[in-house]
Amino acid sequence: MMKLSIRTAVFAIITLHTLFSNTNVRAQNMMTEMNGLQNLGWYNQAFKSLEDSVMHYQEAMKQPQIPAEKRLVLQHYQRVLDRYRQKLRAFVTKHHETDTAAKALLISCFREVEINADSLNALSALLEGPGKTNVYAGYLKQELAGRENNQVGRAVLDFTMPDINGKQVASSTFRGKYLLVNFWASWCGPCRAEMPELLAVYHQYDNRALEVMAVSVDTDKKSWKKAVNQDQTDWINVFDSLAWNSPVVRDYAIHRIPQNILIGPEGKIVAKNISATGLSKILSKFVPK
């Protein structure tokens, strides 16, 4: 029996805006909102078994395999993913006029079940009436747009955030260089574990071809500053206290960390979730050591 690796990435769910009065809005974590059995029971009953199977084979395909075993795993994966998609479509069709349909689609997105963009857009198009006008459907629309925005080859959506000294820094400032937008937080162990290798590449190419904007999803400014000082990250660290509701985070549908986007000199995305080694290989082709 194949052993599956433990995921090291820290997954954090995007926050959801919930209305309280005419103008008062608070940021609430969706999975906190629906964490109780009374709230998630409907989803678990409908999808949990199939979702677990899909995730099992997603992980299995990442493991070293002989060709025959790889083909078998792929067949199993495609079979359970098709069943999951069919059940999700039937569920959305049945509940298309309630917010439950949008909730189910959002959970699928946030748990990163690999449903392609065309399928998700087709399912969201089934929403009607109250099912299309609720806050979950609105967030789903932005989630799908964010997934399109962060595709390799797309022109970057520029953003501006305050750095550690409070100075506003615009991503557009770095046209002509590679810009690594690195999403992280002080409490994210895997994020901070990869910092030394990324810093080494940054220092190798700094001021010639590479800049880094490290976007924190922290909510506590003191914790953020402490981590920056501890890790001695002398690239551009930015923070706006909005965490998962920060415009750049939502514009790129970021709901797990560590995660990064590499923007090329022409202002287009050239890579996503690139390692320090991969980053160095790209830069070495254009910049003499």
Residues 6+ apart with CB under 8 A from 218: 185, 186, 187, 224, 227, 239, 241, 243
pLDDT at 11 (0 to 100): 38
- Which secondary structure element, helix H or strand E, spans residue 63, and what is its range? none
| Block mean pLDDT (10 aa), the chain, length 289 | 38 32 34 55 89 90 87 92 94 96 88 80 95 91 89 94 96 94 96 96 87 95 96 96 88 90 96 95 77
CA distance 127 to 191: 37
CA distance 98 to 233: 47
What is the Cα gyration radius of the chain?
20
Residue 233 tokens read as: 């990250």
pLDDT the model gives residue 142: 87
The pair of structure tokens assigned to 2 is 């194949």
Question: Which pLDDT score, from 0 to 100, does residue 107 have?
Answer: 85
Please report the pLDDT score of residue 63 as a whole number.
87
Q: Which helix (H) or strand (E) holds 236?
A: strand 236-238
The alpha helices in 111-194, defined as continuous H runs, are 117-124, 130-133, 135-149, 189-193
